[in-house]
Amino acid sequence: MTELPPGAQAERTALAWRRTALGVAAGALVTGRLAAPAAGALAYVLVAAGAVVAVLLSWTATRRYRAARRALASSPGQDGPGVGLPTALLAGLAALTGLLAGLYVMTTG
C-alpha cells in the first residue's frame, strides 16, 4: 500500500464539500424550474436560499482546506478546523425546504 502525502485527506474533504455545493446549486435550480409554475414566488425563495448556501459551502470548503493545510504545516499539536458551519448550512437548507414544501401542501391541499 502506498503512503498518502500529507494533506491528501484535507484535499479530498474539500473536494467533497465543493461537490456538495455544486449539487445544492443544481438541486435548487431544478427545484425552482419545476416548482415555479405551481409555487410561484415561493419557488424563487428556495432557489435563492439554495444559491446562497451553495456559495457559502464552497467558500467554507476553501477556507477550511487552507486552515487544515496551515495546521499540517505548523506544529503537530495544532488542530484543524471543525465541521460545524457546513453541516449547519445544509441542515438549515433542508429545514427551509421542508417548511416550504409543507406550506405548499397546505395551500394547495
Sign of the dihedral defined by the CA atoms of residues 41, 46, 47, 48, in that order: positive
pLDDT reported for residue 26:
92
Angle CA 35–25–94, to nearest 5: 70
pLDDT one digit per residue (tens) for the chain, 109 residues? 567 676 677 788 888 889 999 999 998 898 888 888 877 888 888 889 889 989 988 888 888 888 888 877 776 655 555 567 777 888 888 888 888 778 778 877 6
Letter string b/e over residues 35-52, b meaning 16 or more CB atoms within 10 A of that residue's CB: beeebeebbeebbebbee
**Grid coordinates given for 72:** 499540517
103 lies in some domain: yes
Q: In this structure, is residue 27 part of a structural domain?
A: yes
pLDDT of residue 4: 65
Is position 14 within any domain? yes
92 occurs within a structural domain: yes
- Tell me, yes or no, whether 3 lies in a domain: no
**Does residue 82 belong to any structural domain of this protein?**
yes
Number of domains in the chain: 1
* CB 49 within 8 Å of CB 96: yes
pLDDT at 22: 93
Q: What predicted TM-score, i.e. pTM, was given to this entire model? A: 0.68
Q: Where are the beta strands (DSSP E) in the chain?
A: none
Range of the domain at 75: 8-108
Q: Answer whether residue 71 is part of any domain.
A: yes
Domain-embedded: residue 72: yes
